[in-house]
Structure 1
Amino acid sequence: MLTFYSKIIGEDPRYTRTFQPSGKRSVVLKGTALIIPVILWSLMSFLLVRNVLGETYLIATVTGLMTGTIVFLIERTILMSNGNFFIVLFRILLGFLIASLGAVGMDQVIFKNDIDNKIEQYKLSSIEMAVDDMDNRFFDKVNELQAIVNKKKSNWLTALERTGCEADGTCGSLIRGRSSITDLKEKIANQLGEDYKKEYARLNALEAEYNLAVQSAKSQVAEDFNGNSLLLRIQALHELIASNSYMKVVYLIITGLLFLTEFIVIIVKVSSRKSIDEQIEIAKDKIQEENIRKVLENKSRFIQPEKYLSSTRAVSRLVKENEDASFVI
């Protein structure tokens, strides 16, 4: 296992085999800390793409592998990097962002069913808005035509009633039996009846148009509505959390656990004590740096010895004085 952990954190296994027990434990610790977020990101990406976004197993698998590889490279860079305050700060911020994104993605997987219910409410609300829009478009037309139909029907029924009472002699000419007046009133009633039927047919056609428009609007909204939209699902999750205090507590616990798990590389890098082998390596680097500095300094002594040796400086001064005297003669 030491060989495996050495390779994934970028160390030579032949070199780590010579480490002290504490150094070997440090290698295993860093390797384990590196593997945990990689596994979580790969699993989260696969489940998110497959179960939440509804893509195929192939796309989900490829996405999981690519995401895991990218996170592995970033986390290993964080683990291997050393530098000044700004590099350390950048490393912490990068790890924080990766951990935050990982927690958000895993929340989408864990709370999938709750989010689906909220998304369904969004969909029904969108359909209701489309129906209300159709109601507003047809409301005045239907009411206006309905009033005309009611009036036509009332006129027709009144004309029929007058024709009947004219025929039985209870109104009008008060002559019982069929007469020219009865025929005239019957003709008027028939005409009013035709007018009523014509307007009633128009009303039926308008209502059919309204029903068709409503069904078309519902179908269009259902077709255009994308319940797999990631931003919409994030919004749904936060609305659920805001509306339910118990869910908020559970969400914070799970998200905090996921975040700290994703953040484990930074925690190990910043807080873990250096092993004796790491301290020896740092000491060797300092010794080599000091040796190189001395070599460069000695090289300068050979190139310009008059700057460093007092005897050489005296000879150089005498030579220069002789040159000046010869020039004067």
Structure 2
Amino acid sequence: MLDQQKISLGRVRQAYRLTSNELEAIIQALWPHAIFPMELWHRAHEAYWKDFANSNQSVYNIEIPVLPHPCLEEKRLHTYLVGCGIMDFFRELSMTLPVNPLYQGLKYILAESYEEINTIFPGERQTLFDSLRRLDTADFARQYEADSPLREKALFAIPASMYHFISQIFVDTILVNREVAIRFLRDYPLSVEVKGITRVLVESILTKAAPKIPAPEIPDSQADSCVVEEAEDGRLIFRIPAAVWKGKPDHAVHAAMKDIYPPAVIAHVLFYWCAPKPEAGHKIRAGRKTRLGRLFTQKEYSDPKSYRNLFNVLLEEADTYTIIEG
């Protein structure tokens, strides 16, 4: 059961009918003292996932993914990057757990974040878990072994795009101090009551003497250089300055972009924008994918194909974005 002093931003969004930009303003204004980005995911991990993951690790000697944790010393919470980290964590976790505990943990997170979970990416969730269930029923025990072809199939055959909805729900799963959030939104009308926010509660909080929390000021230069935008159709647009990549070696491009852009965007820039050109022969392209794939993992694979497979997954994810020079 959640602390009654905390509430999800998904419910705050619904109660006040907030836009994504308004929700982002709340996050940055209240970060880090009243924002708890990983609490729901940590609770789900402890209650539903950890024991299964640890058991499979000991039996099959497989690596268990670790929840990302944003640095509290950062001036801003980079919600998009943390959301991508959560998506990667969930994807890797789905390769190490049976489907049922994975499903139950996600269901818990959604139930604590929204009033009605059946409307939250129902098709995407159904497609993903149907695919994972087919892997479970193929050979439950064999699929978790490190050298299992079923595990190889799971890692690289399920499209990365099936997991995108995880990063899209992340902001709504962030917990916030309820009273502080209501004070911050004192100028917004309460549109609808939700679990944890009633009109009586809002009125009682706002009648208390409390200073108004100002929204963070964003310099014009920063506002003009957004890393990511969202098109009307929901497709993400990344603008990459030429100074970041043009004329630079691969390792320098990767180092300059890794703390700002998701791995898939970096992979796209390296492969399609940096020399040599991908129009070269098949052997040259394969060798380049192997070299670039090594930049995105600390693991040592005996088979170069594993690096290429990893890199191909990133390129596949990048195809769902619009990546342009900006």
The TM-score normalised by the length of structure 1 is 0.22
Task: Name the structure with the higher strand share.
Answer: 2
Normalization by structure 2: what TM-score? Answer: 0.22
**Structure with higher helix content:** 1
